[in-house]
């Protein structure tokens, strides 16, 4: 069998035009180089170099074989580079689940920048409700699910990723549309429209917590419609809605967005990532490190080995 090392010797001799020069480049003895090339010729049953001339001149068979050898060495190097990239998480596949708008916001910006930096990674996105996302992570169909809020789920690891501003979406002729700042008390008495789909239920709970008080509960209509359909209905008048910053990418004529403020600044909502504890996909680890660096957060600790009592062999 001809070894890859021997092919590299052959290529070096052909490129240098001399066995002696090639040996110096490879930092080996010329006799070693000559012996290895002669071994290749014997195995092939053909002469690759014309030894009657000065230097290392390829025969016609040698020129043909050289092209094949160069292709094999190049492809082997590319394969090794791909394997190293896959181990480091710089190549491979990452499946991400989400239920927020992908038209704007931090999720879109993060995935775009990650894709630009790691061009060898193929990103696959799935938009589903929370329950389906969690099922996908638990079944191994998804590497990570990005969802609003923070919660603990058995068998899953999680961490906060980023936050976005909370906005009120309203008809452009709404009285509040002329204000530069809107505070939660300004929304008392308004009629809200939310989707029954995620993140509608979470938004409803937030509204009840912000506006609910003894003797008053905000009027909230929940319909089984998409987020963009909610905004289309808002344009007709009669309702307003609460959305995350990512909804700014949805352009509906007649609808404007205004930030909601609290005493200490903008109202924000956090997003977290959830993944299986035993997920060994290097790209997932690379993505988490990328997010930590982008948002100046502590690195995610790697998986810890199971505890072993001193003096006991692992089972």
Question: What CATH number did the domain enclosing 29 receive?
Answer: 1.10.10.10
> Is the per-residue pLDDT at 240 higher than 90?
yes
Query: Which tokens belong to 299?
Result: 């690195």
- Structure confidence at residue 12 (pLDDT): 92
- Structure confidence at residue 102 (pLDDT): 67
> Is the per-residue pLDDT at 226 higher than 90?
no
Residues 125 and 182 in one domain: no
Among the residue ranges 18-32, 88-102, 119-133, the one predicted with the least confidence is: 88-102
Residues 279 and 158 in one domain: yes
Q: Tell me the CATH number at 128.
A: 3.40.190.10
Q: Is 81 within the bounds of a domain? A: yes
Number of CB atoms found within 10 A of residue 185's CB: 9
Domain count, the chain: 3
pLDDT per residue as tens digits for the range 51-60: 876 778 899 9
Q: Between 91 and 271, where is the model more confident?
A: 271
Residues 57 and 110 in one domain: no
- Structure confidence at residue 151 (pLDDT): 86
- Structure confidence at residue 100 (pLDDT): 76
pLDDT per residue as tens digits for the range 140-186: 889 999 998 888 898 899 999 999 999 999 999 999 999 988 999 99
Q: Is 80 within the bounds of a domain? A: yes
Among the residue ranges 104-108, 136-140, 286-290, 295-299, the one predicted with the least confidence is: 295-299
Query: Which tokens belong to 181?
Result: 């700042």
Q: Is 284 within the bounds of a domain? A: yes
> Is the per-residue pLDDT at 96 higher than 80?
yes
Residues 64 and 150 in one domain: no
Residues 69 and 19 in one domain: yes
Residues 180 and 126 in one domain: no
Q: Is 305 within the bounds of a domain? A: no
- Region 104-123: mean pLDDT is 89
Domain's final residue, options 71, 87, 103? 87
> Is the per-residue pLDDT at 310 higher than 50?
no
> Is the per-residue pLDDT at 210 higher than 70?
yes
In whole numbers, what is the pLDDT of the chain averaged over residues? 86
> Is the per-residue pLDDT at 82 higher than 60?
no
Q: Is 240 within the bounds of a domain? A: yes
Rg, the chain, Cα only = 31
Residues 100 and 191 in one domain: no
- Structure confidence at residue 50 (pLDDT): 87
Angle (nearest 5°) at CA 115 between 110 and 117 = 95
pLDDT band, very low/low/confident/very high, at 306 (cuts 50, 70, 90): very low
Residues 15 and 151 in one domain: no
Q: Is 312 within the bounds of a domain? A: no
> Is the per-residue pLDDT at 91 higher than 70?
no
- CB 243, CB 257: distance < 8 Å: yes
Query: Which tokens belong to 211?
Result: 């506006």
pLDDT band, very low/low/confident/very high, at 300 (cuts 50, 70, 90): low
- Structure confidence at residue 79 (pLDDT): 65
Q: Is 315 within the bounds of a domain? A: no
- Region 244-262: mean pLDDT is 91
Residues 174 and 214 in one domain: yes
Q: How many helices (H) and strands (E) does the chain have?
A: 9, 13
Domain boundaries, position 83: 4-87
DSSP of 225-284: --HHHHHHHHTTSS-BEEEEGGGGG---TTEEEEEEEETTEE-EEEEEEEEETT---HHH
Residues 278 and 211 in one domain: no
Q: Is 303 within the bounds of a domain? A: no
| Residue of 170, 148, 175, 164 lying closest to 231 (CA atoms) | 170
Query: Distance between CA atoms of 290 and 135, rounded to whole angstroms?
Result: 25
- CB 30, CB 20: distance < 8 Å: yes
Give, in order, the Cα–Cα distances in Å from 93 to each of 86, 141, 247, 297.
9, 12, 27, 24
Residues 168 and 261 in one domain: yes
Residues 66 and 142 in one domain: no
């Amino acid at each position: 069998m001809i070894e890859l090392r021997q092919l590299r010797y052959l290529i070096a001799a052909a490129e240098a035009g001399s066995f002696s020069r090639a040996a110096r480049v490879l930092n080996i003895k010329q006799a070693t180089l000559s012996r290895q090339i002669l071994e290749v010729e014997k195995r092939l049953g053909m002469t690759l170099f014309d030894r009657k001339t000065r230097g290392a001149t390829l025969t016609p068979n040698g020129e043909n074989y050289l092209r094949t050898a160069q292709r094999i060495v190049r492809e082997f190097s590319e394969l090794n580079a791909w394997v190293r990239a896959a181990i480091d998480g710089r190549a491979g596949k990452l499946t991400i689940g989400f239920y927020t708008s992908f038209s704007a916001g931090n999720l879109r910006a993060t995935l775009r920048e990650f894709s630009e930096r790691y061009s060898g990674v193929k990103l696959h996105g799935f938009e589903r409700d929370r329950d389906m996302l969690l099922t996908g992570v638990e079944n191994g169909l998804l590497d990570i699910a990005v969802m609003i809020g923070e919660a603990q789920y058995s068998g899953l690891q999680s961490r906060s990723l980023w936050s976005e501003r909370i906005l009120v979406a309203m008809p452009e002729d709404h009285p509040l549309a002329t204000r530069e700042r809107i505070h939660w008390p300004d929304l008392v008495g308004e009629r809200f429209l939310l989707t029954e789909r995620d993140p509608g239920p979470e938004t409803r709970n937030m509204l009840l917590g912000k506006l609910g008080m003894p003797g008053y509960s905000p009027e909230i209509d929940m319909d089984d419609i998409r987020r963009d359909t909610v905004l289309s209905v808002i344009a007709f008048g009669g309702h307003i809605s609460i959305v995350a910053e990512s909804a700014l990418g949805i352009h509906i004529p007649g609808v404007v967005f205004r930030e909601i403020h609290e005493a200490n600044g903008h109202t924000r909502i956090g997003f977290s990532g959830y993944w299986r504890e035993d997920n060994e996909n290097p790209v997932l680890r690379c993505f988490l490190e990328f997010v930590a660096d982008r948002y100046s957060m502590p690195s995610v600790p790697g998986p810890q080995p199971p505890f072993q009592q001193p003096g006991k062999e692992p089972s």
